[in-house]
Amino acid sequence: MKLHHLDGHIQTILLAEYPDRLLLLDGCCRSDISLLKHFITDSLQRPFNDLTLVVVTHMHPDHAGAANKLRKITGCKIATANVNGQWYSGLDGRLMHLTDMFLTKWVAKRMKRPRRKIWYSSQLIADYKLDDGESLPGFPEWIVLSTQGHTDRDLSLHHLPSNKVYVADLMVKVRNKFIPPFPIFYPNRYRASLHKIIALQPDSIILAHGGEVNLSVKDYQQLLQLAPKIPRTHWRSVKAKLLKLFKK
């Protein structure tokens, strides 16, 4: 297995190459499809439909945005966490879906990325719904870890032979420091997820935003200290800002 790190729209694209199949560790942004196709067909000199499986670690635009379309184009399967219902459900869910796309555009602008179309469906029907400890279909050396907190369905992927773990958005690297992501809907689950990774003692951790890293005991302690005790969500942030305005 060779793991390729590609510079996606606002996140790292991780493509695992095998002699007879390809695995995409996360569902990317919708705008990343052309980049991914170019890399597979031109750089790897392989047909695009060698892409066998796409994992969606959670439903945010830079992790699920390309999944539905990639399945339509290549015939690949999609794997997600075994959680009932859709993340973006109901009116609140639709509003949050729009907000998350706006935040993605804001991050891209701060990163000085060119403007891209990132709209994607808020609904995703998985081919495989996986529980904690299960292996990826067709890729038995990759073990699924339930690492909820950022949302109710976050997954990490543990590559057993190398003892590396892709943790998606469990943490982000900003100015050489590791901090919790935004939002965090389930703070208790988030802390439990951090402890799960610490107990695993991986040789390295791969971030969607920050690349492959090694965390020290001090780094983990700082993450746990920064982890919120109450949910840190879109609506709570808006309310806090409104309260500040009214107090003025």
Average confidence (pLDDT) over 77-105? 95
Q: What is the pLDDT of residue 242?
A: 44
Where is pLDDT greater, at 238 or 101?
101
With vertex at residue 174, the alpha carbon angle to CA 155 and CA 14, rounded to the nearest 5 degrees, is: 40
Cα within 13 Å of Cα(35), Cβ side:
19
Q: Looking up tokens 């995703």, which residue turns up? A: 124
β pairing state of 12-17 and 139-146: unpaired
Q: What is the pLDDT of residue 168?
A: 98
- The string of pLDDT tens digits covering residues 93-121 is 999 999 999 999 999 999 999 999 999 99
Spatial distance between the Cα atoms of 69 and 73, rounded to a whole number of angstroms:
6
Specify whether the CB–CB gap between 186 and 148 falls below 8 A: yes
State pTM to two decimals.
0.94
Q: What is the pLDDT of residues 4-62, one digit of tens each?
A: 999 999 999 999 999 999 999 999 999 999 999 999 999 999 999 999 999 999 999 99
Strand partners, 2: 17
Q: Hey, what domains does the chain have and what are their CATH numbers?
A: 2-226 (3.60.15.10)
Contact 139, 23 (CB under 8 A): yes
